[in-house]
Each structure stands twice: as C-alpha cells, then as structure tokens.
Structure 1
C-alpha cells in the first residue's frame, strides 16, 4: 500500500492541535483515509460532517485503543495534557499500536527532548524510550514552544502594563500551533521513509521576554514593560491569577529553562518541512489583541 492510500489516525483529535492537524490532512489526502480518535461521541460530530471517520478511545483504556487502532497504518500520538500521567498513558498507546500492527507512530515530543533542561521533558524522554523499545517504527516531532502560549496573556499585559517572566534575555524560537500541525500532516502523508527520524521543530525567528513586551506595547499603543522575576516569584504570580499549582509550576520551570536558551533553535527544520515561513511574533500578538 502506498503512502497516499494509508489510513491515518490522529489521537486527541478534538484538541486544538488535533483539529488543526486533521484540517491539514484534509488538504493532502481524502477524508476516507483519516480517522479521528476522541474520548466522547459528542466531540465527533463535526468530523463526521467532513467525512472523517471517528473512533472512541482513551489513553487510560488500553482495550479501547487496540480496538480503535484496527486497520490503521499511521498514528499521530499527540501528547496528553495530564502532567504526571503522560508517560503511562503514552505507553498504553504504544502498546496498542504494536498490538494492532501500526506501521508508523509519529509522536509530538518537545524540542531537544534528549537534552532539555525543562521539567516537562522527562515524560517525553520516557515516551521516546518506550517507542524505541517497542519495535514499532516511529518518528519524533519535537515541537518547540507555541506562540499561543506566549501571547495568550497579551490583553492582560496591556491592562497591567507588564509582561512577567523568568526568561529574561533567553531566546525563544516559538511557532504557531498551526505550523506544528502542518508539519505533522506532511510527515504523516510523506512517501519517504520516516521511521527513525527526529525533527527539531521551532520558529524561524526568536525573541526574548523584553522583545515580547515591546511588541505588545507597539501594537497596543500602550506602555508594556518586561518585569523579571525569579522562578518562585513567577510561580506565585501565576497561582495568584488563578492557575492550578501544577500548571504554574510547569510554566515557571519552562520560563526558567528558556532563560538558558532551552527553547532556542535556529535550524529552521519546521519551515523547511512545511515549505513556508513560520508565523511571526508580530502575527501572534496581532491575533491575540484582535487586530
């Protein structure tokens, strides 16, 4: 069976990255080749309207995954958002893929997972190790930071006149979620052998915390300064605005990692893969501010 005829399943299909990936796949292959894996039937309705088959499966339910993977050639394993549970959940997916005879698993890992200083990288390393040990052909899509993560608080930054952070002058090579989705679709539909490949995916250009604040100020026309905090102070600030402690801890640790250029990459593998420049910080700030 050629790559253009293989059946492709996207896990976490109802999430933001999942939906964007399916939209990109629909540009490249017929809907009949695409399967959306969702946890709840109500999440499947819009996919059905597009002619995309939907199957029910949960990362914590191995039997549901094995059933869902029947007849599937390629799987995009989108990493779970349940911190602390991800390695176990992902291993369930890997085992089910092996049992079903899946020919390729593409996994959304994190930039430089093997050497990353980020706390969140550990579960990605464990998942990569599980895939390597499984014997299932794999490809790692090591996604860098999402621009949406950085600019989501732009309106609040304007309101308070400040961008808070730990990263300081550390460079962040972020790209839009749609850029990473396009890359996944390219790899999943490629006629080239992808097994064993590792893609370090990041934005074409980089920026620092102060540059983020300056861009928000420029576009809003309001004064916005960068306020540098230590990791503990930033975590407390995130908790104070209502974020769960586990999320605040992850973001503070990640921003601290960014200060050491852990989220910096200038290889431009992402734009080479998708055949176009990645979204810019300016584009993301404009979208966040509704301009």
Structure 2
C-alpha cells in the first residue's frame, strides 16, 4: 500500500500557520492526494482481512489539493484570512532555518515540499475509495475536527 499524504500532517501545522498568518511552502502547483488517517487505516484493514491475498500494489490517496487550496479551505473552515506564500526550495529551507530548525532538517523538509511540487504525492487512483467502500472524509472535515 502506497499512502499519499495524510490530512493530519497539515492539522498539526495549524498553530504555526495561525501564528504566522500564512501558509508557506515550496510545493508550487503540486497536487497532494491527501486523505484522513482513518481512511488509510480502513483501507489497510480491508486489505489485511480480505479473503484473497492477491499480490498487488495499491495507490492510496484522496481528492487532491494544492497548498493554496489548503489555505483557502482553512480560511473557510476557521474564518481566518491566511495567505499562501510559495517559495523556492532554497528559500523555504532558509526560512525554516530562520525559524529555528537545524540546517539538515530544514533542507529535508524543503526537499519534501519540492517532491510535492513534482507530483510525488498525487495519484489519480481510486484504490482508497474502493477499499473503504464509502465516501472519503473531506479535507474540510478533518480541519474542522482539528479546530
């Protein structure tokens, strides 16, 4: 099972976004096929309890969004006015270091965002929805619960 990004990755960053008044990153227009942790867990349970044990790869992800769309969704859910600021990978690493992150971690997080910009967390597969056999939890619902 190849899981895309978890919604909860972003919910843990909400306090920082709110303090800064912005969502920064180096994701460009990269789409993120995020889903709630509970949806990924339900898919894992379905695969692990299936009667047939076919050997295959499941590409798991939900409806995709960009970091700009995430920002808009946060604003809608929370009534905030955060802005999205997209940076280059180098600019983002430098900003993370200025905020107190050590250089190696800052480069790692910036490289992760650059991978999102290249589409490495995007999938058009419907494997997740088929495995859970129900509607996937919307990003807005995950954010709403976090607030």
What displacement does 1:271 show?
1.1
Aligned residue for 2:133? 275
Instruction: Tell me the residue number matched to 1:198.
Output: 57
Query: Which residue in the other structure is 2:3 paired with?
Result: 143
Whether the 8 Å CA contact 2:31–2:121 is kept in 1: the answer is yes
Q: Deviations over 1:6-28 (max 9, x none)?
A: xxxxxxxxxxxxxxxxxxxxxxx
Q: Does 1:183 align with 2:43?
A: yes
CA contact (8 A) 2:36 2:139 kept: no
Deviations 1:260-284 (A, max 9, x none): 2221112211010111122221012
Match of 1:256 among 107, 110, 114: 114
**Number of corresponding residues:** 147
Write the deviation string for residues 138-178 of structure 1: whole angstroms up to 9, x where unpaired: xxx11111111123212321222100011122111111122
Q: Which residue of 2 aligns with 1:100?
A: none
For residues 56 and 85 of structure 2, the distance between their equivalents in structure 1, rounded to whole angstroms, comes to 40
Question: Is the contact made by 2:34 and 2:61 (CA closer than 8 Å) also made in structure 1?
Answer: yes
Distance in 1, matches of 2:74 and 2:8, equals 13
* Bigger fraction of residues in helix: 2
**1:146–1:175: 8 Å Cα contact kept in structure 2?**
yes
Q: Deviations over 1:210-259 (max 9, x none)?
A: 11111112222221000011112212333444445444333221211111
**Bigger radius of gyration:** 1
Structure 1: state its 5+ residue gaps: 1-140
Q: Matches of residues 145-184 of structure 1 in structure 2 within 5 Å? A: 145-184=5-44
In 1, distance between residues paired with 2:95 and 2:146?
Answer: 21
260 and 246 in structure 1: CA distance in 2 versus 1, 3 angstrom threshold: same
| Distance verdict in 2 for CA 1:168–1:151, change over 3 Å | farther
SS in 2 for 1:164: strand
- The TM-score, its normalising length taken from structure 1, stands at 0.47
Structure 1 residues 251, 187: closer, same or farther in 2, change over 3 A?
Answer: same
Residues 88-132 of structure 1 show CA distances to partners (whole Å, capped at 9, x for unaligned) of xxxxxxxxxxxxxxxxxxxxxxxxxxxxxxxxxxxxxxxxxxxxx
In 1, distance between residues paired with 2:87 and 2:68?
13
| Distance 1:220-1:188 versus aligned 2 partners, 3 A rule | same
Question: Which has a greater percent of strand?
Answer: 1
Unmatched tracts of structure 2, length 5 or more: none
CA RMSD of superposed structures (Å): 1.8
